[in-house]
């Protein structure tokens, strides 16, 4: 499937899965970056931005949402570019201002995110200039209740964050916390279908050409989770374990188990969906599935990213 050309002055840094993709705009006097990746990749983020900008400063940073893999590089970019203007979704503005890493989910998930500041909250339903073009800001709850997507109606390019990937969408975290958020995922998919993008820049994975079968695949995935919420919780637990392996790369398995048992988000998932399974057995089962899928491996008493 051929991917249409992106607008001039728009560059995508495809980062993998520990860091979200970054989107850099350089087609106007004001340079702008969407999302900043995970903090352990901050050096790479700075290198990519500096290489693309040369002597130009980065003027504006915009976050689609405040999960650690999308904003973990904010602090490093703010340190490198002291005049940087930072725009975040409005839902967690107070928690960022007060720096509450529990409410922002960094401590509960056992993830890292250095403290950063922000200039202004974004306004869903408004239009903002990215580069030389004007982009619509749309609320896209589901994966995160405060997430936004950005749409440029002339080129019909959508920056979808984790609301739509080529093979699905991100974990629906509010569902794990007891909220009814699958309906919000469905509404966000409805929004994207209504926007009818030509090209999608996802939060993770390659840029792709939008097609009805991609939406159908996302809806099929959503239906499977709605019909069996425990399947979604099982998937989410594996995603969080894989995220940790991407960060640490290698760890003694007993230490890995200890980290899980000391991480509130895992305990919350287990208590809600898998209370009958002994904790170590549950972690061993999840880890074995990661190994079987080829995304982790065991080496003696150690578990490694693969």
* 214: CATH: 3.60.15.10
> Could you tell me if 145 and 274 lie in one domain?
no
> Could you tell me if 114 and 154 lie in one domain?
yes
The number of distinct structural domains making up the chain is: 2
- Asked whether the beta carbons of 281 and 132 are under 8 A apart, the reply is no
Which of 168, 201, 226 is where one domain is finished? 226
Which of 226, 248, 272 is where one domain is finished? 226
**pLDDT for position 111:** 96
> Could you tell me if 208 and 125 lie in one domain?
yes
> Could you tell me if 178 and 36 lie in one domain?
yes
- Tell whether 25 is covered by a domain: yes
Q: Which domain holds residue 170?
A: 10-226
pLDDT tens by residue, the chain, 306 residues: 566 789 999 999 999 889 999 999 999 999 999 999 999 999 999 999 999 999 999 999 999 999 999 999 999 999 999 999 999 999 999 999 999 999 999 999 999 999 999 999 999 999 999 999 999 999 999 999 999 999 999 999 999 999 999 999 999 999 999 899 999 999 999 999 999 999 999 999 999 999 999 999 999 999 999 999 999 999 999 999 999 999 999 999 999 999 999 999 999 999 999 999 999 999 999 999 999 999 999 999 999 999
**pLDDT for position 1:** 57
* Secondary structure class of 64 (helix, strand, coil): coil
Say which CATH number the domain at 268 has.
Answer: 1.10.10
Which of 195, 226, 257 is where one domain is finished? 226
> Could you tell me if 276 and 153 lie in one domain?
no
> Could you tell me if 298 and 218 lie in one domain?
no
> Could you tell me if 43 and 135 lie in one domain?
yes
User: In residues, how long is the chain?
Assistant: 306
> Could you tell me if 246 and 147 lie in one domain?
no
Q: Is the pTM of this model over 0.75?
A: yes
Q: What is the pLDDT of residues 87-124, one digit of tens each?
A: 999 999 999 999 999 999 999 999 999 999 999 999 99
**62 contacts: CB under 8 Å, gap ≥ 6:** 32, 33, 34, 35, 86, 87, 88, 122, 128, 130, 150
**pLDDT for position 2:** 65
**Helix or strand (DSSP H, E) at 47:** helix 42-53
Tell which phi-psi region holds residue 112, choosing left (phi > 0), alpha (psi between -120 and 50) or beta. beta
Q: Using CA atoms, how far apart are residues 79 and 70, in angstroms rounded to an integer?
A: 17
**pLDDT for position 4:** 73
> Could you tell me if 211 and 262 lie in one domain?
no
> Could you tell me if 176 and 297 lie in one domain?
no
> Could you tell me if 234 and 141 lie in one domain?
no
∠ CA(50), CA(56), CA(57), 5° rounding?
Answer: 75
Q: What is the pLDDT of residues 133-143, one digit of tens each?
A: 999 999 999 99
């Amino acid at each position: 499937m051929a991917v249409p050309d992106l607008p001039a002055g728009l560059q995508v840094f495809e980062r993998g899965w520990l860091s979200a993709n970054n989107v850099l705009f350089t087609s106007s006097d004001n340079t702008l970056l969407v999302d900043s990746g995970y903090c352990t990749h901050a050096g790479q983020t700075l290198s990519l931005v500096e290489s693309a900008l040369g002597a130009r400063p980065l003027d504006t940073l915009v976050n689609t949402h405040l999960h650690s893999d999308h904003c973990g590089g904010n602090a490093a970019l703010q340190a490198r570019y002291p005049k940087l203007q930072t725009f975040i979704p409005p839902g967690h503005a107070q928690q960022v201002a007060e720096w509450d890493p529990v409410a922002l989910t960094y401590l509960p998930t056992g993830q890292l995110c250095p403290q950063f500041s922000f200039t202004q909250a974004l306004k869903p339903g408004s239009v903002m200039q990215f580069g030389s073009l004007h982009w619509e800001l749309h609320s896209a709850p589901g994966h995160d209740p405060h997430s936004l997507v950005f749409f440029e109606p002339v080129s019909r390019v959508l920056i979808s964050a984790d609301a739509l990937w080529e093979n699905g969408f991100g974990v629906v975290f509010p569902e794990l916390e007891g909220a009814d958020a699958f309906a919000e995922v469905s509404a966000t998919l409805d929004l994207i279908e209504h926007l009818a993008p030509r090209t999608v820049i996802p939060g993770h994975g390659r840029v792709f050409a939008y097609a009805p079968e991609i939406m159908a695949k996302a809806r099929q995935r959503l239906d499977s989770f709605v019909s069996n919420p425990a399947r979604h919780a099982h998937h989410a637990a594996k995603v969080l374990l894989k995220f940790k392996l991407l960060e640490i790369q290698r760890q003694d398995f007993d230490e890995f188990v200890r980290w899980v048992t000391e991480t509130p988000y895992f305990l919350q998932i287990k208590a809600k969906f898998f209370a009958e399974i002994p904790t170590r057995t549950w972690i061993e089962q999840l880890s074995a599935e990661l190994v079987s899928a080829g995304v982790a491996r065991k080496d003696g008493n150690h578990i490694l990213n693969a």
